[in-house]
Amino acid sequence: MPFKRRVSKERDTPITPQMVAVFDQMRRARGERRRQLHGELFDLYMAALSPHPRPWEWPLCIDPREDVNPYPPGTAAHLWWEPNLGAQEMWKALDQASCEARAARNGSGSTKHPPAA
């Protein structure tokens, strides 16, 4: 009997040096500039996935500290809201890649985060 071979649809997240550079700029930016850089980061991500872009993955990355429930407590929207775990994981992956790139530039083997300002 014929059967269809199933191939996993999961892929490793492509993180390029250009994405890390834009992520570092985005992390320091605020307001409209941050949104522009997020769009640029999303375009680089889609280009790395080419020819299979996934536009429904917007927003691409969200700082886990900023992904909070925007709805007032006690409302139905507040009860049904869920954090964007995929975007948080992408933030963590980009953050780790940024730390590794910084360590490589500085010549140290440590990938620890710099002290918070």
Condensed to tens digits (0 to 9), the pLDDT of residues 49-108 reads 765 656 777 778 888 888 888 899 999 999 999 888 888 888 898 899 989 988 888 886
Which has the minimum average pLDDT: 1-10, 29-38, 85-94?
A: 1-10
Domain with 55 in it:
17-106
pLDDT in the model for residue 117? 43
Residue 116 domain flag: no
Is the confidence at residue 32, as pLDDT, over 80? yes
**HEC profile of 36-102:** HHHHHHHHHHHHHHCCCCCHHHCCCCCCCCCCCCCCCCCCHHHHHCCCCHHHHHHHHHHHHHHHHHH
Q: How many domains does the chain have?
A: 1
88, 64 contact by CB (below 8 A): yes
pLDDT in the model for residue 79? 92
Residue 2 domain flag: no
Question: Does the predicted TM-score (pTM) go above 0.75?
Answer: no
Residue 39 domain flag: yes
